Every structure is written in C-alpha cells, then in structure tokens.
Structure 1
Amino acid sequence: MILTRLKLPSLPKSPTFPFAFRFSTSPPHHHLQQQPPITNKPYWTNKIHNLCTKHRNVDEALRLLDTLCLHGYHPDSLNLSSIIHALCDCNRFSEAHHRFLLFLSSHLVPDERTCNVLIARLLYSKTPLSTFHVIRSLLYVKPEFVPSLTNFNRLIDQFCTDLRVDIAHRKRDYAYAMELMNKLWERMKDVKDDPAVNAAAFANLIDCLCREGYFNEVFRIVESMPQGKSVSEEFAYGHMIDSLCRAGRNHGASRVVYLMRKKGFVPSLVSYNCIIHGLCKEGGCMRAYQLFEDGFEFGYLPSEYTYKVLVEGLCRESDFHKGRQVLHFMLNKKGADRIRIYNIYLRALCLVNNNPTEFLNVLVSMLQNQCQPDVITLNTVINGFCKMGRIEDALQVLSDMINGKFCAPDVVTFTTVACGLLDVGRTQEALDVLNQIMPERGLRPGVITYNAVLRGLFKTQHADEAMGVFNCMVNEGVTANCTTYAIVVDGLCQYGQIEEAKKFWDDVIWPSQIHDDFVYAAILKGQCQASNFNLACHFLYELVDSGVTPNTVSYNIVINKACKLGLEKEAYQIVGEMRKNGLEPDAVTWRILEKLHGDVRKTFCTDDSLLKS
C-alpha cells in the first residue's frame, strides 16, 4: 500500500551486553566489592529496582547495571522496566528511548504487555517519531508484537499535533510522519485478529488524516481497499465518507462512492444521506441530485430528512423540475406518508417567495391523487402566499376553509393571515381577524398570536394600536412572555418613545419578574440609539446591582456605543466591569475595540498630515 521502500532499522545480529552498554564511565569493580555474586539475580534485580524507585537515583542504577554487564550479568525485562520507568519519571525521555533501543539490540525483548506499558510511558515524551522508531525496532525483533489500541491512538494523535505545529511554523514536510503512521496501520491490521480493535484504529487514523487536511492520503487508502478481514468494507468506506463530510469535503466523499461502485460495493443509506446533506448545504445541489438519481441503481431510498434538504436546495436554485422529480419519487415510496411528503415540498417552496403557480400546481396534484390537504398543508400555502405579497390568494384559501371546501382553520391559520394583512398595510382587517373573526370561530388567541400581531404593528409604525393589543391581551388573561416584552420595548424605542419604554420596564416588566437577555438588549439598544449613553450605562449597572447578570451581547451594545462616541476609557471600563461579573470578551467585543483603535489611528494620521501641510 504505502512505504514499501522504507526499511526497518538495521540491528546487530548477535551483540553481547558489555558492548551494548560500554559508554559507562564508572570504575568496573566499585559496585561489586563485598557484594553477592553475579549469579544472585534476584538480589541485583531488587537492588536496581530500589535505586530506581525508592532512592530515585537512576544514574547509580545505570552505573551498577553497566558494571554488572561487564562481569557477565544478563539483564532481564524487570531491569529494563525499572530503568525505563525511572528515566521517564525524571523526564529524561531521550535517554529512555535510547536505552530501550540498546536493550532491543541485545535481543532483550519483554512480553507484549510489558512492551505496551513501556511504550505508554514513552508516549508521555510527546515525540512520536522517536517512539515510533522504538515500535519499529520491536516489530523487527518481535514480529508478532502489535501495539495496543490505546497506544496506537495516542501515537496518531501526537503525530497530528506535531503536524499542526510544523505546518504552522513551516518547519518541514511532515509527509514522512504520515507514511510512518500508515505503515504502523498496515502492521496492525495484518497482525491483529480482533476486527473491532482494527476498526477503531482505522477510524482514528482516517479522522486524523481528514482533520489535518491529508485527503490525498485518505484517497490512497480508498484505492487500496478492501481491507480484507481486518476491517469490513462497509465500515471502512462508511467511516471515510463520514470523516470527509465532517471535514466539509463532500465532493471528496462522493468520489469515495464512485470508487466503491467501481469495485462492486454499495454505500450504506447513512453514508449516502450524509453526502447529499453536505452537498446541498454547500451549494452542490446539482451533484446531490445526480447522486440521488444514481442511487436508483442500487435501490437507494432517501430518508425523509434527506428529501427535505434536497428539495429545499433545489427550490433555492429555482430548479422546480428536479424538485418535482424528487417529490414524485418520494410519493411512490412504499409506506410513505403522502400528505407529509407534499407538505415538506410546499414548505420548501416558501423559501422562494416568487412562484405562486407552483403552489397551485402542487395543490391540484394533491387533489388529483386523492390526497386531501390537511390544515398543515393549507397553512403552509397561506404562509407562502403571504410571503409573496399575494394576500388575496391567501384570503381565498381561508375563505374556502371557512366555507367547508377544506378542513377548518385553526389558530395558526388566522395568525398567519393577520400577519400577512399587516405586512401589506391592512391594519384594521388584521385587528378584525384578531378581535372578531377568531372569537366568532371559537378560537382564543394565545401568546404566540399576540406576539406576531404586536411585531407586525410596531413594524408598520402603529405603536398606539400595538399597546392597545397588549392591553387587550392582559385583559383576556393571556400571560406575556419575554418575547412579548422584548417586542414592546424594541417597538417603543424604534418609535422614539424612550421614556415610555423605560416606564414600561419599571411598571410592567420588572414587577412581573419575566425578563431575559433579549429584553435587556432591547432596552440598551434603544437607549444607545437615542444617544442616551449614560442612561444605558446606568441601566446596565442597575441590573448588576439588582442581582441580574446580563450576557455578553448587552455589554457589547454599550461598548459599541462608547466606541462610536470615541470614549476609549469608558469602553475599557465597561470591559473591566464585564470581567468582574464573570464574563469574558468575545470575538464581537474585540472587533468593536479594534474598530475604535482603527478610527483613532485614522484620525491621528489625518491630523498629522494636516499639521505637515
């Protein structure tokens, strides 16, 4: 697959231990005077271990070991483990790697469990290339050895961390590390028998490659598939597609599907849906539709959500012909809820706001197919007509519903019609719907309906009528929520009634104890727009004194006003207050302050040029 040209490190065939440790400079007999004989291995093993652990004197342990080796002592895995652990405890990882290699060159190889424990210690050095060199040497002298899944995953993560740093500093090309990682994967999948372990290792490798942008490496692995018994083809291809989609490489994921199909494999439903979702979100609706059609060959049945995403993307592209093709395919799907399929397509048409003919065609299609529209269908149609400004068409549908041609209207129907009337300036008719027609039909407006009408009245600058609706709402026993109060405050401020907004806060909102960050932001924004910077600051500090913790948005509104007024000191003072209350400036805060400094520099340069002239 990869790296067939790489060679494993050359190791001596039959070295003796004295030569493996001959760099010792200690006197040869110092440690052995009046000591037990060399053959008393338990004694020396225990002594070396105590020097490493109890006395924390790894240098003395190394000198003793070197001296013992000069006199014919043969170290074992216990000695190796004691030395490596002690060097790692002292953060002498470079020496630990080197000592491990020296032991291996003397053909002293611990069991697999000990090897994995020692590798785990070496990984704390965060020098993946050095640790990988040790692993390669282990593979050479112990071919059956396979790193544990945890060690393998940690090694991959360290490779990717190093890769990020090196790319950021442009130090070197890190393709070598990627090749080594792939080589390790090859070794693991060839030796390890557990498919679950190999699947997890494979998934981690692919995730790291995609996260760091090594997509060519992923495609190289794709082209070498299948992985055989090590990793199932379905899992491998599916995970590649998922990782590429999460990295925003949806076209690359579709390329994986193409390679799969060439080799006779069929992508899973989840993988295929994932690609279509991603393509539609990044403007690749045509390619998504092509994949949708290609899926017919292997019996692809899109999920309802995939259908929704696809038709919404096609409608945004005004490709209604392809949208209808997808609609008809879904209608023919066995067990499909046909009314719901139609409703999803109608809702997608609402995103366009300029095609009433398509709305009517869909309604006609429903009736021709003996599919009776439900209230959701008709509410969607009315909403679409209102968005297009075709209020008469919306009223005609409402009239048909009232007269019994279709199902009866509900609260959502009248709310939608009232908002549509307000959008075209027919205020009195909207109020009649709210105050007369709905009660006549036995329908009681809720807080959502009142909020929608209030927003429409303030938007069309009918503040007095809006406050009348609010009073009516209170008299009807409908409890206002935070959205209601935010709409009223924002509307009064936009209408220039700052004092009325402040009075509304004092008399209504604060006593109700129903208020949130949207309400605070509405008041602060209104005061700042009215050039009442000091009042805005006073209100902000008053909130804090009352035990309320405004969010970052509220602080940013006031900081922005200070910056527009050129009040640098006050702006940073508010930032300080913000931090005192446990909040940190966000990206918006820093952009506001940067703009302040940019304006100051611009003013300074302009004044400086005038002085020079």
Structure 2
Amino acid sequence: MNTILPLSKYSRLLRRHILKPHRRLCTESNPQPLTPLQDDERKIDQAVQILLETPHPEWSSSQPLQSLLFSSPPLPPCFILKITRGLPSYCRALNFFEHLRQNSASPDTQFLSHSFQALLEQAGRGPDAASRLPELYRASKEWEVPLTVDAAALLIRYFGRLEMVDNSILVFDELDPSLKNTHVRSVLIDSLLRDGRVDLALNVLDEMLQPLSEVPPNDITGDIVFYALTKAGRKGRSLSDEELVQLVLQFGKHSVFPKTKWLTRLISSLCRRGQIFQAWDFMHELLRLGAPLESFHFNLLLSGLGRQGDLKRMNAVLAEMKEYGIQPNAFTLGILINQLCKLRRVDDAMEVFNKTVEAKQSDGVSIEVDIVIMNTLIDGLCKVGRQEEGLHLMERKKSSKGIVPDTVTYNCLINGFCKVGEIERGIELFERMKEEGVSPNVITVNILIDGMCRHGRTDSALEFFRDMQGKGVKGNSVTYTALVTAFSKAHNFGKVVDLFDEMVRSGCSADPTVYCSLISGFCRAGRMDDAGKVYSNLKAAGFHPDIGCYNALISGFCKMRKIDKANEIIKEMEEAGVKPNIVTFNTVIACLSEAGNFTLAHRVMKQMKKEGLTPKATTFGALIHGYCLNGKLDKARKLFDDMSTSAKILPSTATYNILIESLCKVNDVQAALSLMDDMKAKGVKPNTTTYNAMFKGLKENNLSDDAVLLVDGMIDSGCRPDNQTMEILTGWLSAGGSEKLRSFVQGNKVSSLTA
C-alpha cells in the first residue's frame, strides 16, 4: 500500500539529501566549489542514500529521487550503473531496476542496460546465482534490454564458474556481432578451457588469430590460453609441444607472446626431448616476430646441443646471440666450457675461458669468472690426466681474481690425483683444504677411499675411514660399497660381512649395488651358499636384481657345476622380465662346453641369435675351450676357422691362446707357431700368456732355436716376461739351452718382475 510522506518528513529528506552536501563545517570564508567529479560522486551518493532510506513503494513519489534519476539532461548510464552497484542486496538492486524500467520515459535502452549489468553482478555473487542468472538472462530478452559488453562477459564468466558452460556458449551465440569483441571472446575461451573443451576453445580462438582479424587477441587472451594449456592436471586433452609451438607463433603474428615462464617451459621441453632443431627453428621465428627472448632461452638451446655434443651448432647459437644483441652470461659460458670438457677438448675450453673471461671483448662486454666455471675447467683438466694444470689454475685464480676454492674444487683435484694412483697427493690436498677452512664432505672421503681401494690399499682405506668416523664424518652407501667391493675382491669375507652389518646398524640404507657387490664377491670365491643368502636378503629388502647380479649367480653356480641351480636363476630372471645378455649366454655356453654337452651348447648359441644377440669372440672362445678340454682338438680348429671365415669374427688374443696352448700340449708345436704367425698377420697382439704356452711347448720338444726367435719377438713387442716365463726358461737352461736364452734370463731377474 502506497503512502504519502508527511510534509515535515519530506522537508527533512530534502534538507538531508539536497542541501546537506553544500553545508560546510569549516571556518573558510569562501569555500571552494565542488569539482565536476566530486559533484558526480555527490549525486550518486545522494541517490543511493535516498533509495536506502525510502521504502520501495514510496520511490515513485519521492521528488528528490525522481529529480536525480530523471533529470534533464538525463544521468549518464555509468551513473545508473554505480547507483545500482551501490545497493546492498540483489533484491534492492532488482527493485531499483524495475523502478527505472517502469518510470523511465526515455527510449534509450542504455539507461537500463547499465543497471542490468550491475544487477547481474549482484546476482552472480549471491548463493542463488545458478537459478537467478538464467532467469535474468531470459528476462532481459523479454524486456528487450540489450546486454552491454561487460554484462555479456559477466554472464559468460559466471556461467563458466558455475559449470554451466552450455549457457555461456548460448549467451555468446545469441550476442549481437558487435559485442563479440576480444574481451568477450577471451572470457568464453577461459570458460571453455576450464571445462576441458579444448577443441571448442581453439575454434573460437582461430577466428581471432586470423591475419586480418577484427578481433585480434591481446595479452589477456594470451595469458588465459597459455596458463590453461600448460597447467598440470587440468581438464581436457593435452596439446603436443608441436601444437603449442604453432599456437605461440600464431599469437606472435599479433605481437602477443607467452609470459617468460611458459615460453621457457616450452623451449625446455623441446630440448629435453631431443628436438633441438625444432627448438632452434622456433626461436628463429620468435626473434623474427620480435619476441623478447633473453639469454636464458638461448642457454636452454645450448644445453640441449651440449647433450648431443654438437659443438658446431653451439658456436652458431652464440653468434646469433651476438647478432641479435643478446649478451651471454656466466651460465652461457659455463655450458660451452662444460661441453668442451665433456668432449675432452680441454685446450679449446681453456681458450674460450681466457678469451671470454679475462680479456675485454671488442664491444666492451666481459663475463666475470665464478667458482662454478673454474670448477668445471679444473674437473675437465683432471679427467684428461692434467691435474697439475688444474691445481695451478686454482692457485692462479685464487691470487689474481680472489676466487676462493670450495669443497667441489678440492674434490675435483683429489679425484684427479687418486684416479692416476697418486694417493699421497690426494691426501696432501685433503689436509690442505682443512687448513684453509674448506670443510670436506662425504664425497671427499669417498673419493679417497675409492682411490685407495682401486690401487690395492684396502687396509689404508679402512683405516682412513675409521679416522674420519672419529672426527664425526659418517659414511654413506657409496663409502660402504667401495669398501665391501674391495674386500670382496681380496676374498676377505670376514671384513665384508662386518662392514655390511655396520652399514645397516648405522642407519645407512643398503642399495642394490652393495648387495650385488657382496653376491659377486661370494660367487667369485665359490661361496654360493653365502651368495644365495645375500640374494634372498636383496629380494626381501624390496630390491630387484639387475642383469649383473643374475650373471654373477649363474656364473658361480656354473663353476660349481650346479647346472640346476643356474637354470633356476635363469628362470627367475626371465619371470622378472630381465632379458639375458651376451654375458649370460657366454657363461652358459662355457659351462655346457666344459661339461662336454656341445649339442646343448650349440642350441643355446642358436637361441642367443634368435634373441638378436650376435656371438662374439668370447662366445666362440668358450666353445673352442670346451672342445680343447674334452680332447676334440679337430673340432676346436674347425670352429676357429669358421669363426674367421663364416662368422667374420676376428679371434681375440685369449681365443688364440686357448688353441695355441692345446696344440702345444699335444706336441703339435709347428701348428702352434703357425697360429702365432697368423695372429701377428691379423694384427692380434700376443701377450705373456701366449709366449709362456709356446715356451713350454718348445721346451718339451727342445726347440731352442725357435725359442730364441720368440725371445726376440717378445723383446721387440715390449711384452714383459713374468715369473712363469722365468720358471720355464730357467728349468730349460738347467738342462742345457742356448747362450742367448741364458742372456735373456740373466737380464730379467725373477726378483725384478711383477708376480
């Protein structure tokens, strides 16, 4: 029921909303007039205040409100938008919109469109948005209130967020073409991508990406598209890197480029998958389009080329960087130097280092060397046996550039000296780094322990480890693996078991390498029961044996003539999906051949070929050795001939030695000498074992003249005699022998030889 305000109340409202803003509570004699902007804000505030304080049924009779809303000239549409937006609830906003629609005499529908836009904002934020928005959209068509561009975008966005994407598509399809601008299309694309409708979104985008498009994409479009398409775990199909590349280039034709992180991710993905040339072509196109590429984009390309060892193209990339005015940084230099060092082109790396770092370039740009670059160079020098130069480089840079060596620097140098057996130099550097306040880490300790173990100083390695433990440095699985492997090779299994138990007690998780090292050691020592226990523990720990572990067990059981056990391991290996390799087949063939089961040995060899593995010299050698052991020398010689002619495989020194030794044992020394001539003619070098077999055969037949010729050949080839050589020849001399043999023996004292 409508009521008429009493005159007194009307007067109070009039004074409050019309006169109040002009009152000044200040002491200024002549207050400054309101600016146009302030006046606009005042009118909006007045209208909102009246709407809030006047009951809805009385709005039509409120003269102040009517004067504000329907004055001449009429309020701009943006005023109506702000007034509607200023109302505190959807219901108030809807009442206000109805009031405008019923009371406005103006044919200008923009007046209502902006109020409707604010009404949509109110509805979209409320809890009943899913029901209110479709109702409002239907009502707008009934009332013939056209949507503004922003209202259309709002509807599409709200429907998308409410997972009512079909409604978003409907709104877009029914829009006047003039409203389908870049902003509206971008909002629709965003909704489609969020809902996983990738192909539909790309269809909308395709029209925007056309060369002469009237609605080209902008940076916001690009952000929406590339964020959605590169986001992990999003809905919809994934685009391939190739599709993303084409999309980026299409955007680039409109001078829109992805943000750095997305562009970096794409180039990195191409390089990581080995598509270096595609990455290079892509970057060329981006440069042509004016993309803001930076040095780290080129560094990604350089890293990819480095992994492929393509130094020529790496230099081409560096030249292009200079051409486009993109300055390389320390990381760029590090990539190039690292690759040169990996290719063992350390002199080239040093030249690049000196030219780029130490000398000012013609354009005045230089790159300051850092510890990473210096360490890369030192590591490269050490890996090619030039550790002295690496040490000199460290000292030179320390004094001239003030670069303080770190743990990595010393680790590289210590490793370099240990690799060539200069353990004492490594220990000296270890002591020096501690004196200079550089803390060694477990890697430092492992390098020294590994070096000692590799050069037969296993006890020293363990003593050093105990000393470091006393100083608080704990070992890791690498430490224990080195020690376990070394003591296994020395057949000191008491220490092996103690070290393994200590590793477990210390909380250091045993990895498969330790288990396999133990298994291999026990197998070599013929302790198959112990090997079997460790094998069971390995599986119980949740590890899967590798092919090396299986081969060690198969070899161990074969040597013990436990063929059934070896077959069990082979079956387990196949069930685990581990394919036998050439070592597996050679081991089985050798075992069967030694046992005289040549039928089965040849069958295994055929199976090996079916598996796509080509027999090697060691494969034929295993069969030849078996024939020789079983007195089938004719078959051994025939297989040896077939190996060279039919199989086109050059026999190894070991294969020649097997046959030569067998021929000498049956006193066919001339055939053995002929074989030795054959191996020399084919470029296969005889070794000490070859000569020892021949000396033994010649001694049995007292062919001293031939022995003298062999001595001359041994001296000419630089092949050193060993204790067995001296034993054979010394025994021969006691029974006579020639003066030249006596002279040879006297010139090579047994005490001076390596046992």
TM-score by length of 2: 0.44
Among 366, 370, 387, which residue is 2:383 paired with?
Answer: 387
Residue 318 (1) aligns with residue 311 (2): yes
CA distance in 2, matches of 1:407, 1:296: 37
Among 472, 477, 484, which residue is 2:479 paired with?
Answer: 484
- Which residue does 1:422 correspond to in 2? 418
Task: Give the direction of change, closer, same or farther, for the CA distance of 1:593–1:342 in structure 2 (3 Å limit).
Answer: closer
CA distance in 2, matches of 1:401, 1:426: 24
Letter aligned with residue 376 of structure 1: V
CA distance in 2, matches of 1:573, 1:283: 36
Task: Give the direction of change, closer, same or farther, for the CA distance of 1:397–1:195 in structure 2 (3 Å limit).
Answer: same
Residue 553 (1) aligns with residue 553 (2): no
Among 508, 515, 519, which residue is 1:514 paired with?
Answer: 508
The 10-residue stretch of structure 1 (555-564 or 410-419) with the greater mean CA deviation from structure 2: 555-564
Contact residue 341 and residue 349 of structure 2 kept, 8 A: no
The 10-residue stretch of structure 1 (534-543 or 224-233) with the greater mean CA deviation from structure 2: 224-233
Q: What is the CA-CA distance between 1:574 and the residue it aligns to?
A: 11
Among 371, 375, 384, which residue is 1:375 paired with?
Answer: 371
- Which residue does 2:532 correspond to in 1? 537
Task: Give the direction of change, closer, same or farther, for the CA distance of 1:558–1:301 in structure 2 (3 Å limit).
Answer: same
User: With CA pairs under 8 Å and 6+ residues apart, which has the higher RCO, 1 or 2?
Assistant: 1
Letter aligned with residue 450 of structure 2: R
Alignment of 1:358-369 (within 5 A): 358-367=349-358, 368=360, 369=365
Contact residue 371 and residue 404 of structure 2 kept, 8 A: yes
- Which residue does 1:354 correspond to in 2? 345
- Which residue does 2:406 correspond to in 1? 410
Q: What is the CA-CA distance between 1:541 and the residue it aligns to?
A: 4.5
- Which residue does 1:58 correspond to in 2? none
In the TM superposition, what whole-angstrom CA distance separates every residue of 1:209-262 from its partner, at most 9, and x where no partner exists? xxxxxxxxx8x998666497999465446766889xx98954454344444445
Alignment of 1:576-595 (within 5 A): 589-592=576-579
Letter aligned with residue 318 of structure 1: L
Task: Give the direction of change, closer, same or farther, for the CA distance of 1:528–1:150 in structure 2 (3 Å limit).
Answer: farther
CA distance in 2, matches of 1:286, 1:438: 45
Q: What is the CA-CA distance between 1:384 and the residue it aligns to?
A: 2.2
Secondary structure in 1 matching 2:344: coil
Identity %: 17
Contact residue 418 and residue 433 of structure 1 kept, 8 A: yes
Letter aligned with residue 418 of structure 2: L
- Which residue does 2:630 correspond to in 1? none
Task: Give the direction of change, closer, same or farther, for the CA distance of 1:238–1:492 in structure 2 (3 Å limit).
Answer: same
Residue 455 (1) aligns with residue 450 (2): yes
Task: Give the direction of change, closer, same or farther, for the CA distance of 1:353–1:280 in structure 2 (3 Å limit).
Answer: farther
CA distance in 2, matches of 1:408, 1:270: 34
Letter aligned with residue 457 of structure 1: M
Task: Give the direction of change, closer, same or farther, for the CA distance of 1:523–1:267 in structure 2 (3 Å limit).
Answer: same
Letter aligned with residue 275 of structure 1: L
Letter aligned with residue 310 of structure 2: E
- Which residue does 1:199 correspond to in 2? 193
Alignment of 1:104-123 (within 5 A): none
CA distance in 2, matches of 1:603, 1:317: 48
Secondary structure in 2 matching 1:477: coil
CA distance in 1, matches of 2:454, 2:324: 40
Contact residue 169 and residue 188 of structure 2 kept, 8 A: no
Q: What is the CA-CA distance between 1:198 and the residue it aligns to?
A: 1.1
How many residues align? The count is: 403
Among 500, 524, 529, which residue is 1:505 paired with?
Answer: 500
CA distance in 2, matches of 1:226, 1:495: 72
Contact residue 280 and residue 310 of structure 1 kept, 8 A: yes
Letter aligned with residue 416 of structure 1: C
Secondary structure in 2 matching 1:425: coil
Q: What is the CA-CA distance between 1:371 and the residue it aligns to?
A: 4.3
Secondary structure in 1 matching 2:440: coil
In the TM superposition, what whole-angstrom CA distance separates every residue of 1:447-504 from its partner, at most 9, and x where no partner exists? 2210122233334554344334323323433222233212322333355544432232
In the TM superposition, what whole-angstrom CA distance separates every residue of 1:398-455 from its partner, at most 9, and x where no partner exists? 2314545542322221111011122233333222222x42244344423221012223
Contact residue 346 and residue 380 of structure 2 kept, 8 A: no
Q: What is the CA-CA distance between 1:382 and the residue it aligns to?
A: 0.8
Q: What is the CA-CA distance between 1:294 and the residue it aligns to?
A: 3.3
CA distance in 2, matches of 1:393, 1:421: 12
Letter aligned with residue 390 of structure 2: A
CA distance in 2, matches of 1:375, 1:242: 36
- Which residue does 2:603 correspond to in 1? 606
Letter aligned with residue 292 of structure 1: M
CA distance in 2, matches of 1:237, 1:442: 49
CA distance in 2, matches of 1:291, 1:240: 18
Contact residue 559 and residue 592 of structure 1 kept, 8 A: no
Residue 445 (1) aligns with residue 440 (2): yes
Among 272, 276, 295, which residue is 1:281 paired with?
Answer: 272
Task: Give the direction of change, closer, same or farther, for the CA distance of 1:262–1:477 in structure 2 (3 Å limit).
Answer: closer
Task: Give the direction of change, closer, same or farther, for the CA distance of 1:431–1:292 in structure 2 (3 Å limit).
Answer: same
Task: Give the direction of change, closer, same or farther, for the CA distance of 1:303–1:457 in structure 2 (3 Å limit).
Answer: farther
Q: What is the CA-CA distance between 1:517 and the residue it aligns to?
A: 2.6
Q: What is the CA-CA distance between 1:378 and the residue it aligns to?
A: 1.6
CA distance in 1, matches of 2:486, 2:204: 59
Contact residue 299 and residue 331 of structure 2 kept, 8 A: no
CA distance in 1, matches of 2:168, 2:515: 56
CA distance in 1, matches of 2:227, 2:504: 54
Contact residue 386 and residue 420 of structure 1 kept, 8 A: yes
Q: What is the CA-CA distance between 1:397 and the residue it aligns to?
A: 0.3
Q: What is the CA-CA distance between 1:590 and the residue it aligns to?
A: 1.8
Residue 472 (1) aligns with residue 467 (2): yes
CA distance in 2, matches of 1:528, 1:253: 55
In structure 2, list runs of 5 or more residues that go unmatched.
1-129, 132-158, 175-184, 558-562, 590-598, 607-755
TM-score by length of 1: 0.52
CA distance in 2, matches of 1:387, 1:528: 33
Letter aligned with residue 357 of structure 1: D
Contact residue 421 and residue 429 of structure 1 kept, 8 A: yes
Alignment of 1:300-315 (within 5 A): 300-302=291-293, 306-315=297-306
In the TM superposition, what whole-angstrom CA distance separates every residue of 1:146-168 from its partner, at most 9, and x where no partner exists? 99997999xxxxxxxxxxxxxxx
Task: Give the direction of change, closer, same or farther, for the CA distance of 1:365–1:497 in structure 2 (3 Å limit).
Answer: same
- Which residue does 1:296 correspond to in 2? 287
CA distance in 1, matches of 2:402, 2:195: 58
- Which residue does 2:34 correspond to in 1? none
Residue 400 (1) aligns with residue 396 (2): yes
In the TM superposition, what whole-angstrom CA distance separates every residue of 1:47-82 from its partner, at most 9, and x where no partner exists? xxxxxxxxxxxxxxxxxxxxxxxxxxxxxxxxxxxx
Letter aligned with residue 603 of structure 2: T
In the TM superposition, what whole-angstrom CA distance separates every residue of 1:77-109 from its partner, at most 9, and x where no partner exists? xxxxxxxxxxxxxxxxxxxxxxxxxxxxxxxxx
Contact residue 562 and residue 568 of structure 1 kept, 8 A: no
CA distance in 1, matches of 2:282, 2:257: 13
